[in-house]
Amino acid sequence: MTTHATHTSLGLDNRKMAFWAFIGSECLLFTSLISTYLVYKGKSVVGPYPHEILNIPFTSVSTFDLLMSSLMMVLALAAVQRGDMKWGKIWLFSTALLGLVFLGGQVIEFTEFVHKGLTLQTNLFGCTFFVLTGTHGAHVTVGVLWLLTLWVRALQGKLTSAHATTVEISGLYWHFVDVVWIVIFTVVYLIQ
Amino acid sequence: MKSWLTTTDHKRIGLLYFWTAFSFFLIGGVEALFIRAQLAQPNGHLVTAETYNQLFTMHGTTMVFLALMPLSASFFNYIVPLQIGARDVAFPRLNAFSYWVFLLGGLFLNASWLVGPLFHAGRLNVAPDGGWFGYANLTERQFSPGPNIDFWLLGLQILGISSLAAGFNFIVTILNLRAPGMKMMRVPVFTWMTLVTQFLVITAFPVITVGLVFLMFDRFFGTHFYVSQSGATPILWQHLFWLFGHPEVYILILPAMGIVSDVLPTFARKPLFGYTVVVYSGVLIGFMGWGVWSHHMFSVGLGPIADSVFSATTMLIAVPTGVKIFNWIATLWGGDIRGTTALHFAVGFIAMFIIGGLSGVTHASPPTDLQQTDTYYVVAHIHYVLFGGTIMGLFAGIYYWWPKMTGRLLSETLGKWHFWLQFVGMNVAFFPMHLIGLLGMPRRVYTYAPELGVSDLNLLSTIGAFLIALSILVFVVNLLRSRTHGQRAGNDPWGGATLEWSIPSPPPVYNFSVIPTVANRLPRWKTEHHEPMRDPPAAPPGPIHVPGGSWWPMLAAFGLPILALAPLTHTLWLAFVGAAVLLAGIFLWAFEPFEV
């Protein structure tokens, strides 16, 4: 379904291949962060501890929201690929919106934790939790900016079905960030 | 001038990498001379202990990140597209971005030599002083309060972005931009080793990035990642650093191995012995390089199981390395050998790397390593592999490809002087360090007492260091002289087998007038089965699209040091300026009409 502007040795679009390599590299980044979280799990010498503070029901809603944004992304790509830019715009904006909702949830969560006495400096749980989820949040922010940029380009009529690969690559990124969240949600929230 | 600032041509970027990295190499070399001058005699007092700490830290950091890696990158840029029959890299503007980030990161790091007064340090130099592997928790604010470590960790973050961007670019270039018929098992070994190196870069750099981010948060935002009172373990840093650090060793040596694998066949007039085995050994080294990191940590006391496992994997990785060495020797065997300077350096590489490799195997055994760790024995080892290995290999590449890059040959007479001075100099400088270390002199201590009994050996080592400096001086003369007096190279001064020799020197901006079709591994040589390929015609049959330049990669690159200045100077608005510049650069870049 991709457009091949130029011939490539492996028949895969250059940008897409670069992006797969980038995602591979990002895996190592998040693996290092998550490993550190696990290594330091239970090593905090003062509270608050994870079980006192993590709000699983609240974060489950955030997680569901992010999962749904991936669905929107799939719909956005499908719409752009079949040249239906009206729905392409709607789904692109919905994806970004759900991303923003997720970020809003993270802001609420972080604020609540700070009120309950957990900051970056409190203990090892605070250090590892905020840096891990914060790095993920930064990735979501970049994704939202990217999607909004595509949406604005689509509104201007500069993003058409000829740019399906561009949308596909932003989708790769978005799904990757989503998958990372599934791992973080499982490791940090569910398996305490 | 403008055309150089905005260039996206891989050849120009290659030359920019060369001159920048070579300048940093000279700076790192001068730092080494200060170190050796200080150690020439016992109780030396040329520099203070504080300055000495900065000198060895910056010497190591500069040589690894600002000299050896980017000198290799100079060849990745210039030679790889030519070897695979491409018109440029896959992402020319990203390539320019990598260069500018590298330059700015290097300047950022080195600015620390001069800006002490801005930090009210009471001295000129506030350069990093925690050693090139910057062990936590020495690097924590509590023990290193000045801006020294800040420069180091922020500088390395910037440089990491440059390496990562180049990594993605070259992986795609090599996999996707090969000329018709250039199957993977026909790709020249230098390009193959570049590919393996880039995979190591994109997997190893994120790990150190995380380690540095933790350190950054500890120093600027009061977290406790490496603070033992809070229950943290400083060993975390060692794991993160060496998980990066050992693949990094192969990032430094694999390109040199690739160069030697291309130089030897040309001057032995024989195909590389066991091409397939050499390639697969390189790939195997890439994989195994991930499983040996804790041999840097035997003295930590990780326990007998960890020590045994890492000891075994370290000994195992010597196998594919040894395989390569035998293949190189077998390539020379029975060859029609021409003793050019490039060949001298390639053979010098093999000999010196064997010595460095053997002393490396001695570290693989924990009991002996415990005797050697933190002594000059380790310094001897690292210099045999990185100077005797990587630098010798890079010089082989310079003498081999300089004619291609500039159109002029380097002088063979000066080249031989350079080689022999350097070869003798490095052995005089680094061999005694084995003995100095075994006699008990610790590394990274600014002086020593005469009673230790290593004074004569240290003086000898210093003499060797100045011999190396003399050899580099000869090389600089050779480089500059070649611009006006060098013989014209023509397309192919050496009778090379690979594609880069089929086009003029220096190549036209479009490289190949007609993209060649490759039928075998040594396309320009006559073999039993193949006639040599016809070189592309001198003039292209039709107009060739060449992408223009762009300012935006440079603009985006400037955002990074500005961002880094924010924590360094505790100025919040600089963070917004840096982010704005970076974003502006990226958006202008993304929407600029630019057809590859």
B152, B57 Cβ separation under 8 angstroms: yes
* Annotated active-site residue in B404, B443, B521, B524: B443
In a domain, A18, yes or no: no
Q: Is it the case that residue A7 has pLDDT exceeding 80? A: no
Tell me how close the Cα of B436 comes to any Cα of chain A, in angstroms.
Answer: 38
Count Cα atoms within 13 angstroms, Cβ side, for B482. 24
Residues in Cβ contact with B146 at an 8 Å cutoff, skipping those fewer than 6 apart? B119, B121, B126
* Annotated active-site residue in B61, B112, B163, B406: B163
Q: Please identify every stretch of chain B with a pLDDT value under 70, giving residue numbers as ranges.
A: 596
Q: How confident is the model over B333-386, as pLDDT tens digits?
A: 999 999 999 999 999 999 999 999 999 999 999 999 999 999 999 999 999 999
In a domain, A170, yes or no: yes
pLDDT score for B253: 96
In a domain, A183, yes or no: yes
Q: Is it the case that residue A3 has pLDDT exceeding 50? A: no
The domain that contains A121 carries what CATH number? 1.20.120.80
Contact B467/A at CB under 8 A: no
What single string gives the DSSP state of each residue in B173-185?
HHHH-PPTT--GG
Residues in Cβ contact with B139 at an 8 Å cutoff, skipping those fewer than 6 apart? B130, B149, B152, B153, B215, B219, B226, B237
What is the C-alpha separation between A176 and A148, in angstroms, rounded? 18
What is the C-alpha separation between B206 and B94, in angstroms, rounded? 18
Q: Which of residues 82-121 of A touch B (CB under 8 A)?
A: 120-121
Tell me how close the Cα of A32 comes to any Cα of chain B, in angstroms.
Answer: 6
Contact B592/A at CB under 8 A: no
Q: Is it the case that residue A5 has pLDDT exceeding 60? A: no
Residue A186 DSSP code: I
Contact B223/A at CB under 8 A: yes
β-partners of residue B488 are: B408
pLDDT score for B592: 87
In a domain, A103, yes or no: yes
Residue B317 parent element (H or E): helix B304-332
Contacts of A33 in chain B (CB under 8 A): 210
CA dihedral (B274, B275, B278, B281) in degrees, to 10, reads: -100
Counted domains in chain A: 1
pLDDT tier, A2 (very low <50, low <70, confident <90, very high otherwise): very low
Contact B91/A at CB under 8 A: yes
What sign does the CA torsion over B404, B407, B411, B415 have?
negative
Tracing tokens 């490759």 back to the chain, one arrives at B518
For the segment A82-102, the average pLDDT, to the nearest whole number, is 96
pLDDT tier, A6 (very low <50, low <70, confident <90, very high otherwise): low
B151, B258 Cβ separation under 8 angstroms: no
In a domain, A97, yes or no: yes
Q: How confident is the model over A106-140, as pLDDT tens digits?
A: 999 999 999 999 999 999 999 999 999 999 999 99
The pTM for the full model equals: 0.96
**Closest to B252 (Cα-Cα) out of B286, B225, B223:** B286
B219 given a catalytic annotation: no
In a domain, A2, yes or no: no
A116 φ, ψ (degrees, to nearest 5): -85, 5
Domain extent for A152: 55-190
Q: Name the amino acid, one letter, at B193.
A: M
Contacts of A21 in chain B (CB under 8 A): 167-168, 171-172, 202
Domains of chain B, first to last = 19-546 (1.20.210.10)
Tell me how close the Cα of A69 comes to any Cα of chain B, in angstroms.
Answer: 24
**Closest to B584 (Cα-Cα) out of B552, B562, B560, B561:** B552
